[in-house]
Amino acid sequence: MLQKMPKKLIDENGIRVDGRRLDELRPVKIEVGVLENADGSAYIEQGKGKILAAVYGPKEVHPKHLALPDRALLRCRYHMAPFSVEQRKSPAPSRREMELSKVVREALEPSIFVEYYPRTSIDLFIEVLQADGGTRCAGIIVASLALADAGIPMRDLVTACAAGKVEGRLVLDLTDIEDKGGEADVPLALLPNLNAVTLLQMDGMLTIDEFEHVVNLAFDGCKRLYQLQKEALKAKYVVAKEVVEE
């Protein structure tokens, strides 16, 4: 299952390895309410990426001493399945997963009215079943939908998208090989209605001007994904409404 690094990631017509233009998103399929046991859940397929998220809560906090007197405790686990990448990944949480769990939690918490549920916990689980670049962003998208599906009051849905630089060109929504072979990757999470950036990371090298362009590109990607997120959320309730009416 080894992917080979192609000689060129972008051809002379500005078309990428997977046939996309520079500012084109990967095909996305989102489904809300996919797990029976969870209070809320969602699933995304983004290119080859497949990511599942579930929410349990608000519920009693265990262990109890972690409970916060004035708000809910949001806990988040970003985790990759051992078979999600080419070389088997140990199921024990890696340093990367620990960091991502933290930044994903910080990306989502500003969207939730945590003050409505003091002394409770909201537990969020993101499982990457197959990774193909941009998994933290896809994880945020489904996690936010799972929170909405669980009926937790929110200021806005959180959406996320990466942009970066590959072979000297600024591109949207990098795949794994574009990330590895490229010069920079900037994941960004956004609450679109508040113009609030809640996750921003970068590795690679960019001038300040390039950085500004890449941030703008990621904003555009976020806004398009936001529409798809809203449609997916509505789709679940349209189906529910039809069932009720029958």
> Which residues of the chain form contacts with another protein (CB under 8 A)?
66, 95-96, 98-99, 101-103, 106, 109-110, 186, 191, 194-208, 211-212, 215-216, 219
Residues, the chain, total?
246
- Give the 3-state DSSP-derived string for 41-66, with helices as H, strands as E and coil as C: EEEEEECCEEEEEEEEEEEECCCHHH
Residue type, 178: E
Tell me if 65 sits within 8 A of 81, measured CB to CB.
Answer: no
Measured from the CB atom, the residue of 64 and 95 that comes closer to another protein is 95
Q: Name the token pair of 176.
A: 């794994």
Strand (E) or helix (H) holding 209: helix 208-245
Measured from the CB atom, the residue of 19 and 63 that comes closer to another protein is 63
Least distance CB 103 / another protein (angstroms): 7
Measured from the CB atom, the residue of 33 and 133 that comes closer to another protein is 133
Measured from the CB atom, the residue of 150 and 199 that comes closer to another protein is 199
Tell me if 113 sits within 8 A of 154, measured CB to CB.
Answer: yes
Least distance CB 177 / another protein (angstroms): 12
Measured from the CB atom, the residue of 20 and 105 that comes closer to another protein is 105
Q: Tell me which residue of 193, 194, 199 sits closest to 215, measured CA to CA.
A: 199
Measured from the CB atom, the residue of 11 and 115 that comes closer to another protein is 115
Least distance CB 3 / another protein (angstroms): 12
- Greatest Cα pair distance in the chain: 60
Least distance CB 245 / another protein (angstroms): 40
3-class state of residue 120 by DSSP: strand
Strand (E) or helix (H) holding 166: strand 159-166
Sign of the dihedral defined by the CA atoms of residues 82, 50, 122, 243, in that order: negative
